[in-house]
């Protein structure tokens, strides 16, 4: 079995838990996932199966779309509602101001990685420093918020403000941090209450399957070829040179998906970094016989 399975991840389990469960249901060992979701989060989790595990790098480079629930007036150590509350305040901010500052988040900026994350500093995961109570200079990453908007009414409850946002963001963006940064723009504090990923690249939640549906054999595996439909295809007359990983002249100036005369996928080539007049193998999908 080779291809991609889009799962609607449930709340209160890790992405690895989902992989392990699907592996057990389908009796498949070669399986992975792209784009980890926190236990709190639900929605699109793209699983790669068999030879499709080679697609992980390609799939994770795409933009991701989320619906996030925000609470202003609370701050936790994890930047989401599951953490320990470290500060509270009453908040009274008008809808117009909230919408104005949300619009300002549509940009590229250096985002600080949250302390409770698996990003490594000096070979050690940040959450390990947090659990040990050790201070560490948090790294920053350049992230792009391509789209962001208010998608719900604003509720004012017991001095707190609640609303939902939709955002389309680049790889590596932490929505918890985005909400923290938005709260800072609003001169207050805030946390993420809920998070649902509704799209990753071309994979949407409307075409995903729950674990219960997968258990009932009600699912569809997306073929590798369909996942590579954005790449230019070339039928080669010399299958052996592709299967041998031969470096070729670059007459395309873009990644190329090579197929044989039987329309079988052989390999995905890309421009050679050391010499842009050449293209080299990027992902091999068929072994030489």
**Domain boundaries along the sequence of the chain:** 3-62+201-224, 64-78+95-195, 231-284
User: Which one of 2.30.130.10, 1.10.3720.10, 3.40.50.150, 1.10.645.10 gives the CATH number of domain 231-284?
Assistant: 2.30.130.10
- In degrees rounded to 5, what are phi and psi of residue 215? -60, -35
Same topology between domain 3-62+201-224 and domain 64-78+95-195: yes
3.50.50.60, 3.30.2350.10, 3.90.1150.10, 3.30.70.1230: which CATH number matches 64-78+95-195? 3.30.2350.10
Backbone angles phi, psi at 267, to 5 degrees: -165, 155
Task: Provide the percentage of residues in the chain whose pLDDT is more than 90.
Answer: 73
What's the pLDDT score for residue 288?
Answer: 60
pTM: 0.87
Which tens digit of pLDDT belongs to each residue from 113-157? 888 888 888 888 888 887 888 888 888 999 999 999 999 999 999
Cα–Cα distance for residue pair 40/90, rounded to 1 Å: 25
Task: Express each pLDDT in 178-215 by its tens digit.
Answer: 999 999 999 999 999 999 999 998 899 999 999 999 99
Distance CA 178, CA 102 (A): 10
pLDDT digits (tens, 9 = 90+) for 193-203: 999 999 998 89
Whole-angstrom distance, CA of residue 280 vs CA of residue 238: 15
Which residues are marked as active site?
38
pLDDT of residue 202: 86
Across the chain, mean pLDDT equals 92
Condensed to tens digits (0 to 9), the pLDDT of residues 260-282 reads: 999 989 999 999 988 999 999 99
Judge whether residue 289 has pLDDT over 70.
Answer: no
Q: What confidence tier does 232 reach under pLDDT thresholds 50, 70, 90? A: very high
Higher per-residue confidence, 253 vs 182: 182
Between strands 140-150 and 108-112, the pairing is antiparallel
Q: What is the 3-state secondary structure (H, E, C) of 116-165?
A: CCCCEECCEEHHHHHHCCCCCCCCEEEEEEEEEEECCCCEEECCEEEEEE
Structure tokens at 228: 């590579």
Task: Fold for 3-62+201-224, please state it.
Answer: Pseudouridine synthase (3.30.2350)
Distance in angstroms (rounded) separating the CA atoms of residues 22 and 209: 11
Percentage of the residues of the chain whose pLDDT score is greater than 70 = 99
Residue 104 has pLDDT above 90, yes or no: yes
Split at pLDDT 50, 70, 90, the class of 177 is very high
With tokens 């439909």, the residue in question is: 229
């Amino acid at each position: 079995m080779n291809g991609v399975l889009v799962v609607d991840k449930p709340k209160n389990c890790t992405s690895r838990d989902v992989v392990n469960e699907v592996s057990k249901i389908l009796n498949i060992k070669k399986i992975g996932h792209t784009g980890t979701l926190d236990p709190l989060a639900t929605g699109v989790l793209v699983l790669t199966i068999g030879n499709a595990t080679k697609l992980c790098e390609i799939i994770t480079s795409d933009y991701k779309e989320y619906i996030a629930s925000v609470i202003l007036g609370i701050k936790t150590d994890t930047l989401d509602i599951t953490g320990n509350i470290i500060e509270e305040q009453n908040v009274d901010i008008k809808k117009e101001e909230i919408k104005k500052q949300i619009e300002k988040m549509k940009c590229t900026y250096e985002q600080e990685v949250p302390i409770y994350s698996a990003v490594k500093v000096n070979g050690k995961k940040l959450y390990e420093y947090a659990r040990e109570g050790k201070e560490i200079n948090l790294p920053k990453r350049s992230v792009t918020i391509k789209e962001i908007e208010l998608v719900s009414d604003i509720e004012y409850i017991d001095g707190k403000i609640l609303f939902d946002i939709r955002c389309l963001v680049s790889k590596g963006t932490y929505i918890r941090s985005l909400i923290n940064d938005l709260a800072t723009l609003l001169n207050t504090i805030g946390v993420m209450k809920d998070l649902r990923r509704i799209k990753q690249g071309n994979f949407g939640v409307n075409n995903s399957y729950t674990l219960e549906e997968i258990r009932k054999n009600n699912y569809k595996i997306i073929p590798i070829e369909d996942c590579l439909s954005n790449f230019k295809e070339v039928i080669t007359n010399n299958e052996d040179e592709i299967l041998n990983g031969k470096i070729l002249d670059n007459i395309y100036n873009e990644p190329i998906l090579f197929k044989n005369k039987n329309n079988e996928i052989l390999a995905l080539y890309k421009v050679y970094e050391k010499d842009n007049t050449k293209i080299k193998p990027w992902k091999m999908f068929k072994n030489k016989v």
